[in-house]
Every structure is written in C-alpha cells, then in structure tokens.
Structure 1
Amino acid sequence: MPPTHKASTRLSAATLARLPGSAWVLLVLVLVFSVFGQGFLSIANLFNVGTQSTILLLIALPMTLIIMTEGLDLSIGAVLTLAGVVLATVVVGTGSVPAALAAALAVGTVFGLLNGGLIAWLGIPPFVATLGTLGVAQGIALVMTDGQSVVGIGETIPGLYAGTWLGMPIPLWIAMACYGAFHWLLYRTRFGAYVFALGGNREALQFAGVRVNRYLIAVYALGGLMAGVAALLLTARMNAGHPTAAIGMEFDAIAAVAVGGTTFDRGNGRLPGTLLGVVVVGVLRNGLNLLGIPSAVQVAAIGLLVLVVLLIESYKTKETA
C-alpha cells in the first residue's frame, strides 16, 4: 500500500474515532427509521422533528450549565408546565400576549431563584431542593386549573408555533437565537468562565473573591427564565395550557445533556454536544411515533439511548488509553 494511502487511511480512522458516541447513534437511528419509518426522511417530517425539538432545546441549554456546576434541576418540567398554565390564564383573562409572556417569564424566574437560593444559601442538595420545588410547581398548576386545560387562548400564540419566516418555522428561529445567546454566554463571557469553574474548581473562585453563591443562583434563575420562554412554544403547540403538559420533560433534557457529553463533575460541558443530544432524542421520539410505539416504551428507549452512548464513550476512552 502506498505511504500516502496509508496516511489517508489512518487519518480517516482517527477522524471517525473522534466522532462522539451520540453521532454514531444518530446515524444508526436515521438509517433504521429511514427503512422502517414511512416518510421519515421527507422534508415535512424533518422540519417536524426540528420544530418539536425546540422546546426540549430551550430547557436543555440551561440544564447544561446547571449540570456543569455539579447541580441538577428536576423541577424544570413542572415549572415549564406552571408557566404555560399562567401564560394561558393571563392571555385568556386579559387578551394581552406580552403580559402573558411576562407573567410566564416571572413565574419561571421566581422558581429558578428559589432553587438557587435553597441550594446556595441553605446548602440543600440540588436533587432534594429541586424535587421539592417540582412538587410545589406541579401542585400550583393543578390547583389553578382544577386539573383541566386552559383553553380559548386565541389565534396569536398558536399562529406563532405554526408560522414560518424565510421558509423556516418560527420556533426554529427562536431556538437558533437562544442557542446563539447561550453559546456566547458560556464561551465568550466572564459568567461562562465562572460556570466552568463552579464545577471544576469552586474553591479557586472563592479564594479569588468571587461571590460564588450569586453566580450559582444566577445559573438556576436562568433555567427558570428559559422554562418561561419554552412555555410560550409549549402553549402555542398545544393551543392550551395543560397542568401536566411538560411533566417528565426534565428527564428528556437531562438525557440530551448526558448524551451530548456533559458530565456531572469537574465542570465539563459542551453546548454543541447538547444540541446534538437534543437532535438524537428528537429523532428517536419521532421515529418511534412513526412506528406507533407507545409513549411509555419511548421513555425506556431514551434511557437505553443514554446507556448506549455512555458505553460507546467508555469503550473509546479505553481504546485511546
């Protein structure tokens, strides 16, 4: 074999080896669903996958930062649900979409601040603190609605979800803008540097005189704020505010972040990986829906997905060691 060909082969093998496990899983899913899922590769369905994944991306982005601080937010799905109920209730009562959105953002931010305060100031473990606020948010949503959907929200909000701009669905534009903002925040600002340090070397931040608790609370507040933003798209998608609409979505968000390569220690996190993880989860959900697989089985499939990706990454680490 000529030397140049050998070098090219080694380069190709090295390139393939650097591909994350989530990319391999995505390739396999696309191949499988292309064969067995009718219409999976149609343009309409691909746009559908992207549009449906926008809500998950909006909460997976802050979840990445939270996990990078060695934290966790189990309440974000319930807070998203409550924010959606509040948004729908306000728009039905006032007819004002801006007022409704402001109320949803306020609800999400308050719960984010509450989570951050419980963790930073009182020292309550993130799992316990956010599990408690999950129950509070879910309970308030059920009490506000008596377990019924809030309907009659008009056409403006649903039109936002169904609308397009320059040939692309508006939710995709919103998701792209939010991803760009988070990418800038994490990789181009002092706040982002502190997020990495909160998980990687918190003591060094304290010795440097940085108010660690303030930034930790800000990370959780950002998660709550994004739950309020996601509530707009969720309510628009459902054409109503439902008191259990996003319960369990925190599982998908954590799965997407884990699949994307963010770890629960040392402040290791990658927003591009989270984006890829969201796409993988979205493709899996969509493909299983096309195959008529029940939602309960889909949850198990997402759990299996996380395990498979982690096994692939573990194998690659051993091979390079």
Structure 2
Amino acid sequence: MTTGQLQQAPRFAARRRRPLPSIVWVSVALAAIAAIGVPGFASSGNLADIGSQIAMLVVIAMPMTLVILSEGLDLSAGAVLSLGGVVFAQALAAGAGIVPALLVAAAVGTLAGGLNGTLIAQLRLPPFVVTLAMLGIARGMALVLTDGNAVVVATPALSHLYAMTVLGMPFPIVCALAAWAVTYVLLYHTKFGTYVFAIGGNRDALTLAGVKAKVFHVAIYALSGLFAGLAALLLVGRMNAAEPNAAIGIEFDAIAAVVLGGTSFERGDGWLTGTVLGVVTIGMLRNALNLLGVESSLQVVSVGVLVLLVILVDSLRKSRFLGAHA
C-alpha cells in the first residue's frame, strides 16, 4: 500500500454507515431535563458559565481523542497541566510577560508528552504504565517547585485577558474553539490525521507504505503535552493562582468525554465532534449537580455511571446495526 492510497482512504471512516453515537441523544435529553428541573440552569448567565467551565476540558480532550484513536491513553494530562500552571505562574511572578511564561509552560508540557510518546512508540511500553509514571513525576515536580503551596499571581494583564470577550464570546470559549479548530484541521485535513487513524487502525499498512509511524506516534503524545501546557493559561487565569494539584483528575473527564463521544480504544475508530458533545454533556451534568448542591465526589460517580450507560447502549445499538446489515 502506498501513501497515496492511505490518503485516499476516507478520513471520516469512523462515522461511515453507522448510527449516531448515543451521546447525541443523551446530551439533548440532559439539557432538556436540566432546563426544566434545575432552577437557573437555562439562564443566559449560567449557560455562559458552563461554556467557560468546560473550555479547559475541551483543550485537554481534543488531543486525548487523537491519543485514544492511536490505541493509547494519557493518564498524565492533569498532572502535566498542573505542572504547566505552576511553571507559568512562577514565570509571571519572576517578571516574565504572559507570552514568554506561556511558552515555557508549553515547552514543559511538550517535553513531558514527547517523553511519553518516545517510551510508548520507540520502546513499546504500555501507555497505561508510562503515563501513570509521568503523572507521578509531573505531580511530584509541581509539589517540589511549590513546597505544596499555591503560587499567587498578581498580574493584572492576565486577569484582563481572561475576562475579555472576543466578538461577544468569553476568552476561555475562544481558546476552546481554537483548540477544536486546530485539532479538526490536523485530524481531517492533513497527512498527520490520516496517519493517526492508521496507527490505531492499520499500523502495518502504514509501515509498509514507508511512513515512519513511530515518529507520528510520538508526535501525538507531544501534542497532548503541548495542549496541556497551553491550558495553563486558562487554569491560572481562572484562579489567579497555581496549585500543584489543581488539575489532577481532569484526565478522567477528558477520557470520559472521548469515550462518551463514540471513540473506541481500538481500530482507530472515532469522531472528534462526538468528543465535543461528550465534553458538553459532562459540563452540563456537573453544572446541574452543582446547582442542586451535590458534592463533588458524587459528581464523579455520576460521570462514571453515565459513561457505562452510554457505552452499554451504544454496544447494543451497534450489535443490532451489524446484525441487520450482515
């Protein structure tokens, strides 16, 4: 098989001739139920809050989709984001501007992601083990750098940037849209995207076509780390401070969003728009539970239950669909 043949393969093969993921109907149903049963949920102010609250999760979930499409996993995203936030805040405290500080955080994230990818692609180590180890390393480094304390940011420019609007949209939502747009173009309109699907779906064909699959595999994890580093802007901007454990656990919501959106852990089967719907659904669920006064630990339980239910329903629907077309 040649690279030309790979490029001619449908980029949207993951969605071809199959029913829409259940997350489409779940998100609509959840929005309707919350709007009716949760006071204040449907207000314009609360909907804007949901958008701002899920912005950082969108930034993390976009490259997570590519990681899972390549039959991988990144458990270190939250810890790398926390480390990036600490580095970003400390750079600001040392007198650096927002852009130089963010570049440092992005470099730290890219290095962590690139190391993950190198160990996974070059040494063929299990993604679960490698990224779990990186979670511990990044979290430990964040604690060492801060002595376990928060790094307060007294930079008015950061507060102004986070609070600004662009064409009527809050800055965090603009960042989320940018992350989606970049990932969409990469996945569906570049050779890199073709290779992402091939790494998860038919790695042997990619290798036989003369493509250096390992290089692109490393790049997928480096991209995940880069996005985590860049998300430090939203993390620190929201709190005007950086805490070493601030983003621990966001990787759970990101993985859940990808799975809810219909992306499979095998065969390079997935849908980027489904991930966005997964993020929105998790955001709506958590927001509604917050308004109802449900504690955070039970919110995590609810997200886990939602993932299991959607996976079960999708599995049953796919089985019936395949049976009907056998």
- TM-score interval, smaller chain: over 0.9
Query: Which deviates further from its counterpart, 23-32 or 200-209?
Result: 23-32
> How far does residue 19 in structure 1 lie from its aligned partner after superposition?
4.1
Structure 1 match to 2:29: 28
**1:84 partner letter:** G
CA distance in 1, matches of 2:19, 2:66: 24
CA distance in 1, matches of 2:270, 2:313: 18
**1:305 partner letter:** L
Gaps of 5+ in 1: 1-16
Asked if 2 retains the 8 angstrom alpha-carbon contact of 1:36 and 1:291, the reply is no
CA distance in 2, matches of 1:46, 1:55: 16
Equivalent residues in 2 for 1:70-219, closer than 5 Å = 70-219=71-220
Structure-2 change in CA distance of 1:102 and 1:288 (3 Å): same
Equivalent residues in 2 for 1:294-305, closer than 5 Å = 294-305=295-306
For residues 256-284 of structure 1, give each alpha carbon's deviation from its aligned partner in whole angstroms, at most 9, with x where no partner exists: 00000000000011111111111011111
Structure 1 match to 2:14: none
Structure 1 position 266 matched with structure 2 position 267: yes
CA distance in 2, matches of 1:112, 1:269: 21
Percent identity for Structure 1 against Structure 2: 53
Asked if 1 retains the 8 angstrom alpha-carbon contact of 2:187 and 2:194, the reply is yes
Query: SS where residue 236 of structure 1 aligns?
Result: helix
Asked if 1 retains the 8 angstrom alpha-carbon contact of 2:68 and 2:265, the reply is yes
Structure 2 match to 1:235: 236
Query: SS where residue 73 of structure 2 aligns?
Result: coil
Asked if 2 retains the 8 angstrom alpha-carbon contact of 1:159 and 1:236, the reply is no
CA distance in 2, matches of 1:263, 1:157: 38
CA distance in 2, matches of 1:283, 1:227: 22
CA distance in 2, matches of 1:67, 1:168: 30
Structure 1 match to 2:246: 245
Equivalent residues in 2 for 1:37-52, closer than 5 Å = 37-52=38-53
Number of positions where the alignment pairs a residue of Structure 1 with one of Structure 2: 305
Could you state the TM-score of these two structures normalised by the residue count of structure 1?
0.92
> How far does residue 96 in structure 1 lie from its aligned partner after superposition?
1.4
For residues 16-72 of structure 1, give each alpha carbon's deviation from its aligned partner in whole angstroms, at most 9, with x where no partner exists: x94421122212222222233211001111111111111000010000000001000
Query: Which deviates further from its counterpart, 46-55 or 153-162?
Result: 153-162
Query: SS where residue 148 of structure 1 aligns?
Result: coil
Asked if 2 retains the 8 angstrom alpha-carbon contact of 1:66 and 1:73, the reply is yes
Structure 1 match to 2:13: none
**2:216 partner letter:** Y
Moved over 3 A (4+): none
> How far does residue 153 in structure 1 lie from its aligned partner after superposition?
3.3
CA distance in 1, matches of 2:124, 2:317: 37
CA distance in 1, matches of 2:247, 2:177: 21
**1:33 partner letter:** A
Asked if 1 retains the 8 angstrom alpha-carbon contact of 2:19 and 2:318, the reply is no
CA RMSD of aligned residues (A): 1.2
Query: SS where residue 94 of structure 1 aligns?
Result: coil
CA distance in 2, matches of 1:70, 1:179: 21
Structure 1 match to 2:6: none
Structure-2 change in CA distance of 1:318 and 1:212 (3 Å): closer
Query: Which deviates further from its counterpart, 121-130 or 34-43?
Result: 34-43
Query: SS where residue 246 of structure 1 aligns?
Result: coil
> How far does residue 211 in structure 1 lie from its aligned partner after superposition?
0.8
Asked if 1 retains the 8 angstrom alpha-carbon contact of 2:84 and 2:106, the reply is yes
Structure 1 match to 2:314: 313
Structure 1 position 66 matched with structure 2 position 67: yes
